[in-house]
């Protein structure tokens, strides 16, 4: 037997090339679960790891807790060898470990990488030579090199020699029917050229198009640029909306007209604020890291400030709408339509609708909500509402002093809504009429 035959990375390369390998997905949420199902669909054995026993039990019984993933999808994966567990000791059984856990901000708007570091620290006692570790969670440039690799080296593992370490940012877009996990091009960078080679061999089984870059820091910065681009442009169009409103100009008509230009303009739509796990959070990962280099990212922070103020703008519009009927927010019955951060999904992370509810309640409003995708108000760190989604009937609609359309799900009956509501504050440009106030 040659020395090369004993090389753990050569052995890993052989398993990846043959397709006879085992993947572990850590974090079975909106990113990890679709990725796990995709690898399973491609014929790869997958074990899903999560610290939430309830999620694990649901998956192992063939049930889904994500609206766009059916129980049938889970059952098909189980039949192909997938199973979920909270037992991290089983990490030693897998060849590839892919981390898809949250990277939120703490209460001081500083990056909170505790989910990542806790996951890595839970894996390390069972890590072995010849495994590949991939981080998909959004983070600041340098995380893989500065936080993950030193942890591996402390246990005797060096990327490119006896293990592989890569960064490959997730690019999920929940609710977008045009792109799937398989068809969204995947950026990846390795700690070494050999790491990148192994990372490409891993993801090639599940992803149609790979976009290799020179190192992990480039891959980390790429994800931040993608989301900062959106955050800044949404901040711009939200500020334009405020200016246009003061001038009595319909900003949506302006955007439609500008979008007819066949070059140099990309239309962005204003709304009640930013939502989801990426766009409201990711820019602050870069602003935090940039300070280490003595740079103040004023442009990015200004966009964040504008977007952060949009729920307050909506609440002011509610106040104006009620004032026209000689009412105040205090004591008014207000229904918020749509709790998810975007239409036709059940994801409420960072949803501006929740902040709108909180601000209205703080001003004395009696709040209810309706969302066909969110039957009960979810557990959140900063918000607590003991509420369930209400059914919409003509009688119920007429009972509210004001209705706020925060998320324009296609499931809503907009004809009924317009016909029977006293006042509607529309943050999504979905309605027109005398009882509609645009916000």
Tokens coding 58 = 């649901």
Tokens coding 254 = 């302006």
pLDDT digits (tens, 9 = 90+) for 417-432: 999 999 999 999 999 9
To the nearest 10°, report the CA torsion of 100, 171, 20, 27.
20
Structural domains present in the chain: 4-214 (3.40.50.720), 224-306 (1.10.1040.10), 311-438 (3.40.50.720)
pLDDT digits (tens, 9 = 90+) for 231-245: 999 999 999 999 999
How many residues comprise the chain? 439
For 431, residues 6+ apart whose C-beta sits below 8 A from its C-beta are 405, 414, 417, 418, 424
- Angle 327-328-332 (CA atoms, 0-180°, nearest 5)? 85
Q: What is the pLDDT of residue 3?
A: 45
Q: In angstroms, what CA-CA distances link 19 with 40, 211, 248, 313?
A: 12, 21, 61, 53
Dist. CA 272–CA 286, nearest whole Å: 24
* Average pLDDT value for residue range 125-135: 97
Q: What is the pLDDT of residue 270?
A: 96
Where are the strands (E) in 272-414, listed by range? 333-337, 366-370, 402-405
Q: How confident is the model at residue 106 (pLDDT cuts 50, 70, 90)?
A: confident
Catalytic residue annotation: 278
What is the number of helices (H) and of strands (E) in the chain?
16, 13
For 303, residues 6+ apart whose C-beta sits below 8 A from its C-beta are 231, 232, 234, 235, 236, 283
Q: How confident is the model at residue 276 (pLDDT cuts 50, 70, 90)?
A: confident
Backbone angles phi, psi at 347, to 5 degrees: -90, 115
Q: What is the pLDDT of residue 382?
A: 83
Tokens coding 195 = 């790491």
Q: Coil, strand or helix: which one is 404?
A: strand
Residue with tokens 């390390």: 124
Q: Is the pLDDT of residue 372 over 90?
A: yes
Q: Quick one: CA dihedral 266, 270, 273, 276, positive or negative?
A: negative
Q: Is the pLDDT of residue 389 over 60?
A: yes
Average pLDDT, the chain: 95
Q: How confident is the model at residue 1 (pLDDT cuts 50, 70, 90)?
A: very low
Q: What is the pLDDT of residue 244?
A: 97
- What secondary structure letter does DSSP report for 377? P
Q: What is the pLDDT of residue 67?
A: 87
* Average pLDDT value for residue range 52-63: 97
Dist. CA 403–CA 421, nearest whole Å: 7
Q: Quick one: CA dihedral 185, 188, 194, 198, positive or negative?
A: negative
* Average pLDDT value for residue range 157-180: 93
* Average pLDDT value for residue range 394-413: 97
Q: Is the pLDDT of residue 29 over 60?
A: yes
Dist. CA 354–CA 47, nearest whole Å: 34
Q: Is the pLDDT of residue 2 over 60?
A: no
Q: How confident is the model at residue 108 (pLDDT cuts 50, 70, 90)?
A: confident
Strand-pair category, 424-426 with 402-405 = parallel
* Average pLDDT value for residue range 248-260: 96
Q: Is the pLDDT of residue 4 over 70?
A: no
Q: What is the pLDDT of residue 381?
A: 80
| Cβ atoms 390, 411 nearer than 8 A | no
Q: Is the pLDDT of residue 314 over 70?
A: yes
Q: What is the pLDDT of residue 5?
A: 63
């Amino acid at each position: 037997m040659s020395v090369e035959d004993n090389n753990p990375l050569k052995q890993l390369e052989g398993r990846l090339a043959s397709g006879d390998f085992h993947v572990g997905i850590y974090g079975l949420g909106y990113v990890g679960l679709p990725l796990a199902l995709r690898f399973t669909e491609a014929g790869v054995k997958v074990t899903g790891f999560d610290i939430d026993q309830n999620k694990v039990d649901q998956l192992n019984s063939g049930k889904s807790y994500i609206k766009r993933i059916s129980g049938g999808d889970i059952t098909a994966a189980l039949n192909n060898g997938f199973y979920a567990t909270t037992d991290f000791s089983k990490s030693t059984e897998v060849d590839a470990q892919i981390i898809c856990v949250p990277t939120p901000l703490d209460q001081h708007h500083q990056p909170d990488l505790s989910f990542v570091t806790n996951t890595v620290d839970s894996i390390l006692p069972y890590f072995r030579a010849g495994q590949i570790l991939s981080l998909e969670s959004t983070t600041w440039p340098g995380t893989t090199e500065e936080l993950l690799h030193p942890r591996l080296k402390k246990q005797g593992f060096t990327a490119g020699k006896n293990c592989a370490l890569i960064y490959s940012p997730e690019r999920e877009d929940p609710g977008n029917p045009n792109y799937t996990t398989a068809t969204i091009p995947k950026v990846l960078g390795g700690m070494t050229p050999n790491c990148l080679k192994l990372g490409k061999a891993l993801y090639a089984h599940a992803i149609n198009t790979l976009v290799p870059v020179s190192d992990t820091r480039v891959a980390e910065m790429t994800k931040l640029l993608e989301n900062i681009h959106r955050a800044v442009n949404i901040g711009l169009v939200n500020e334009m909306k405020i200016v246009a409103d003061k001038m009595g100009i319909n900003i949506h008509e302006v955007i439609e007209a500008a979008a007819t230009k066949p070059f140099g303009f990309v239309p962005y739509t204003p709304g009640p604020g930013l939502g989801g796990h990426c766009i409201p959070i990711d820019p602050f990962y870069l602003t935090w890291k940039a300070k280490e280099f003595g740079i103040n990212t004023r442009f990015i922070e200004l966009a964040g400030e504008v977007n952060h103020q949009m729920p307050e703008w909506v609440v002011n519009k509610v106040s104006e709408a009620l004032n026209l009927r000689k009412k105040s927010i205090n004591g008014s019955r207000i229904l918020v339509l749509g709790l998810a951060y975007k239409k036709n999904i059940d994801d409420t992370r960072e949803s501006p609708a929740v902040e709108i509810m909180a601000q209205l309640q703080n001003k004395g409003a009696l709040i209810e909500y309706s969302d066909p995708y969110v039957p009960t108000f979810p557990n959140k760190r900063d918000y607590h509402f003991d509420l369930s989604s209400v059914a919409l009937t003509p009688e119920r609609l007429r009972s509210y002093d004001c209705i706020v359309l925060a998320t324009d799900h296609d499931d809503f009956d907009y004809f009924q809504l317009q016909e029977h509501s006293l006042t509607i504050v529309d943050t999504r440009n979905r309605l027109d009429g005398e009882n509609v106030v645009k916000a």
